[in-house]
Structure 1
Amino acid sequence: MSVREGTAQTQRSGVQVTLLLLAALLLALLAGCREPPPDDPPNPLLYEIASADGTVEGWMLGTIHALPEGTRWRTPAITQAVSEADLLVVEIAALDDSAALSRTYAELSATPGLPPLAARVPSDLADPLAKLMARGDLDPARFGATETWAAAIALAQVDATGDPANGVDRAVLRDFAGRPVRELEGARGQLSLFDRLPETQQRAMLAAVVRESDKTRADPERLQRAWLAGDADTIEQATREGFLADPALREPLLTGRNQRWANALVPLLGQQPRPLIAVGTAHLVGPEGLVALLEAQGYRVRRLP
């Protein structure tokens, strides 16, 4: 298998990289969360953004990038926000250009002559790594030219559930066909966040994915249930565990991005077209999330039922 074929095979969700890695973490950490009864109606995080005088300036939806076929997630409030918004703001706009996404991924993730993957994790993780790779039917030889951050992504997907074709971001992009769409990062920008990480931090991510793999496997649908319930407290708590507890990873992968996005959104919200901002749910919650950052700028942000 060529490097390009190997890297393309890891892209079950295009290049929605951050949520894949957060999902691997969150799936393992949500074991103690309150689970809604299976018949509860969906209630994903959706916020109305208003100026200080109460004028509605836009909406913000927390997305998830992969769901099982037939998952019912739309609420009347989401349907209304999609209908009333003038434009859509997403992390990556060109999710359907798989050829371009694969080229970008292959370019950034491949470096010939790297150490074996087993040499890039602590010795006590060698056996769990081997079991995880066997469970995913992954040949260790194919990772000889795969950078560590990309290997972490591939391994995070072994026990993941859902189909990126059913992701909320893709569905909302289809809803806005014919209307303006803007992106906050784009594929290259998002992947470059990982590509620029020092190798020590990339290895910390890889080790976290391997360590949490058994918990993830125990119930790979827990994150999806927490997302459907709109359990902001649980999701925010989970984003502070694992490798995101490391400030050297938390800042470039989560909080720094939130701040840059907020800086880009404030002038956009001040213009006449009203946006629907649809980004990964982990970016909305907590004191460093987009809700809090926009409130600090004087906006009134309230959750819609």
Structure 2
Amino acid sequence: MTQPSPARMPVAGSPPPAAPQDTPKPPQKPAAGDKSLYGGTSSRRITVRDIAAAKQRGEKWPMLTAYDAMTASVFDEAGIPVLLVGDSMGNCHLGYESTVPVTMDETTLLSAAVVRGTRRVLVVGDLPFGSYQEGPVQALRNATRLVKEAGVGAVKLEGGERSAHQVELLVSSGIPVMAHVGLTPQSVNAFGGYPVQGRGEEAAQQLLRDAKAVQDAGAFAVVLEAVPAELAAEVTRSLHIPTVGIGAGLDCDAQVLVWTDMAGMTSGRVPKFVKRYLEMRELLGGAAKAFAEDVVGGTFPAEEHTFH
């Protein structure tokens, strides 16, 4: 779940030469007071009302995961409007084989770090497996903890119709909820892996029912994961809340990637829907090797790094 470098501005008083007719114009800097989620000028925290307004404007927006203050601050400064402290922390931050072992203590700790490291983004904390499946009361207890102890602006939970009662109680209690349907990674043991969801008429209709159920329960947005693009487009047209795609095609209102996938930190095979915008694992490994060689060769620390 990155952004292109901002275009260089021309020197004052020197208008740029006219671009050739077939050359696309660079993106324009938002005007003062612009309310866009990405590139907007407001310094206050983004809220679910801003997300709803973006849907009305037809604005697409990006979302990334984050698990620590420093990385979150980079994404905040880059203009990413929404950061998800996802249970993907299990795979890419905590060393688990899946998201299932992630605990409320871990989610709360890392969510608080992301909140502390940011100023503008809406921080969404993921409710981990086992923290809401018992029912609405359990969901409210754990979601309240994320809001009170970590300071998140919203929570996310998986499931459509089966989680609608949890969504309804959380929303009625003042906690905004982002829902998650399609491929729900916490159900990896039930799915037997990570298959595409919604293929076939019956499965497609169930996914539509799931998305509408969480909307009717009060969710402010819904993640569609590993869903055929045509079905995701239909769901997006059918809802008045934004859809956030991950492996769900171009027609969703927003797109999310796990940041370690997006930046090329993840080793080995990654899902088909991932686009790497950087080879960070290679760059970081190269820096570590250069440091090690300087130490072994006796060239670090040099005089400029030494106190007398």
Structure 1-normalised TM-score? 0.25
Q: Which has the higher contact order (CA 8 A, sep 6+)?
A: 1
User: Which structure has the highest helix share of the two?
Assistant: 1
Give the structure with higher Rg (CA): 2
Give TM-score, length-normalised by structure 2. Answer: 0.24
